[in-house]
Structure 1
Amino acid sequence: MFDLVFNTLFFALNSNVYGLANISISSFDVLLAYIVAIIVSILVALVLRIPLLPSKPYRYSFDVSAIYPTPIIAIGILSIFLVLNFTFMYNGIVLAVIIGILSALFVKYLFDFVFPKPLTGDEGEDINE
């Protein structure tokens, strides 16, 4: 986990995906793109009225929030693009903003369809038995 920036730079600089070996980004640019993606995803999630924290008890809550999983999805998707050496414009900053917005929209509208909540103790049982 701590080598995420190093591994991203290693693959982005040495992979020569689609003949883009002349594009190089520094570790500061990668770190800045991650921070921008996290901040944008949290702010857009709050604008979409996703709660900041899940409902209590936090440990057993499967509710989505602005803190989790919104920025986690944003940095995961951004990492995929950076490893594939696709930075778009301004060394990945514009890509980070776009991914932050799309991850917040995904969590708001599609997260429960893709990852449904588990059944509770009495759901799914037949009452007539």
Structure 2
Amino acid sequence: MFNFIDGVLFFAYNGNTFGFANITVSPMDIILAYIVTIIVSIIVAFALKVPLLPSKPYRYSFDVSAIYPTPIIAVGVFSIFLVLNYTFMYNGLVLAIVIGILSALFVKYLFYSVFPKPLNDDEGDEINE
């Protein structure tokens, strides 16, 4: 995992490889953008009435929450943009806010369409009868 983070920091910091970027982004700007992405995704998910924690038992719960998987999806999508050397404005802060909002909307409205819940132990038995 740390090799991935180091690679993202390296590629975003040395951003003028192909001549697309006229500024370089410092590692502190990238870390700040990651923190902004996480905070915005949690706040927007909580504002959309996504529960803060999944239902109990936490270990076997497949419910979405504001803590998991919302910020994980936001950080993953933001990392893809950083690896592609696209930071948009203000050293990636605007992009971080937009991705945080979109990831919260994705988890609220589209998550179960893309990733359906697994069947329970008692579901699906009527097929065998």
Same fold (TM over 0.5): yes
Q: Does 1:88 align with 2:98?
A: no
Q: 1:14 to 1:87 in 2, by over 3 A?
A: closer
CA RMSD of aligned residues (A): 1.7
Aligned pairs for 1:111-122 within 5 A: 111-122=111-122
1:30 aligns with 2:15: no
Aligned residues: 128
The question of 1:16 aligning with 2:17 is answered yes
Shift >3 Å, 4+ stretches: none
TM-score (norm 2): 0.92
Deviation at residue 90 of structure 1 after TM alignment: 0.1
Q: Is the Cα contact below 8 Å between 2:45 and 2:70 reproduced in 1?
A: yes
Question: What percentage of aligned pairs have identical amino acids?
Answer: 71
| Structure-1 separation of matches of 2:87 and 2:15 | 15
Q: 1:22 to 1:126 in 2, by over 3 A?
A: same
TM-score, normalised to structure 1, is: 0.92
In structure 2, C-alpha distance between the alignment counterparts of 1:32 and 1:101, rounded to whole Å: 17
Distance in 2 (alpha carbons) for counterparts of 1:81 and 1:61:
30
Q: Tell me, which stretches of 5 or more residues in structure 1 are unaligned?
A: none
1:21 Cα offset (Å): 4.9
Write out per-residue CA displacement over residues 56-90 of structure 1, whole angstroms, 9 at most, x where no aligned residue. Answer: 00000000000000000000000000111100000
Q: How does 1:1-129 map to 2 (within 5 A)?
A: 1-12=1-12, 13=14, 16-17=17-18, 19-126=19-126, 129=129
Contact persistence 1:6–1:27 (CA under 8 A): no
Q: What displacement does 1:14 show? A: 5.6
Q: Any unmatched runs of 5+ in structure 2?
A: none
